[in-house]
């Protein structure tokens, strides 16, 4: 079975190859007439995925894997229109869309729900519930307390090392003085 994007290409190939001998055997080539691609998924879905991939600048490998995954989703009876819209939202919000496709690929193939994108066009929908914290007003009080504790610890550490340093210097000075006193008595 060979699939073609354009029906005219398929007809040309079938006319050219029909009746030819390959490895000493006559070949019979026919074009499938039902207009449905492999697995019952219309090839229009491939075009939509390719267009989405181009819009979000996916690499060729990610695009091919995404097409394959959506064919699997179609066989599982998923709502492909809805899935394409949700995935497009995720890709639009992603800094690395090809990496996102790779991470979601297994779930896409298994027919798991994609879910809505929480991060849309530079703004969070749910005040940074995803764990990525900035330094703005939306930070929780516990985080501010944690920061204060961390700053306090750093100050104490500086004070401790300063006092240790001073103690060491005093000890050295005392040792030097003691050495001088002892050396005077030996002469």
Element counts in the chain: helices (H) and strands (E) = 6, 4
Torsion sign across C-alpha atoms 138, 139, 140, 144: negative
At residue 21, the 3 state secondary structure works out as strand
What average pLDDT does range 28-44 have in this prediction? Answer: 58
> Which tens digits make up the pLDDT trace of 90-123?
999 999 999 999 999 999 998 899 989 888 655 5
User: What percent of the chain is modeled with pLDDT above 70?
Assistant: 63
Three-state helix/strand/coil letters over 88-113? HHHHHHCCCHHHHHHHHHHHHHCCCC
Q: What is the pLDDT of residue 184?
A: 62
Task: Please report, for the chain, the start and end positions of each structural domain, with discontinuous segments joined by +.
Answer: 1-33, 43-125, 138-187
Q: What is the pLDDT of residue 46?
A: 87
Sorted by sequence, the CB contacts under 8 Å of residue 78 that are 6+ apart come out as 111
Sorted by sequence, the CB contacts under 8 Å of residue 5 that are 6+ apart come out as 43, 46
Quote the CA–CA distance of 51 and 9 in Å, as a whole number. Answer: 21
> Which tens digits make up the pLDDT trace of 132-142?
444 445 555 56
């Amino acid at each position: 079975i060979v699939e073609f994007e354009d029906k005219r290409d398929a007809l040309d190939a079938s006319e050219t190859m029909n009746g030819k001998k390959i490895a000493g055997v006559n070949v019979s080539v026919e074009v499938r007439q039902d207009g449905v691609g492999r697995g019952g998924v219309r090839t229009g879905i491939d075009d939509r995925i390719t267009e989405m991939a181009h819009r979000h600048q996916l690499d060729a490998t990610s695009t091919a894997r995404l097409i394959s995954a959506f064919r699997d989703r179609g066989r599982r009876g998923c709502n492909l229109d809805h899935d394409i819209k949700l995935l497009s939202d995720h890709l639009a919000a992603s800094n690395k869309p090809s990496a996102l496709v790779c991470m979601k690929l297994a779930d896409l193939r298994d027919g798991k729900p994609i879910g809505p994108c929480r991060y849309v066009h530079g703004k969070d929908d749910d005040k940074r519930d995803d764990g990525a914290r900035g330094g703005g007003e939306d930070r929780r009080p516990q985080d501010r307390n944690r920061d204060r504790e961390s700053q306090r610890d750093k100050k104490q550490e500086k004070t401790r090392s300063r006092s240790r340093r001073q103690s060491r210097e005093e000890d050295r000075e005392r040792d030097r003085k003691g050495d001088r006193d002892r050396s005077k008595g030996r002469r």
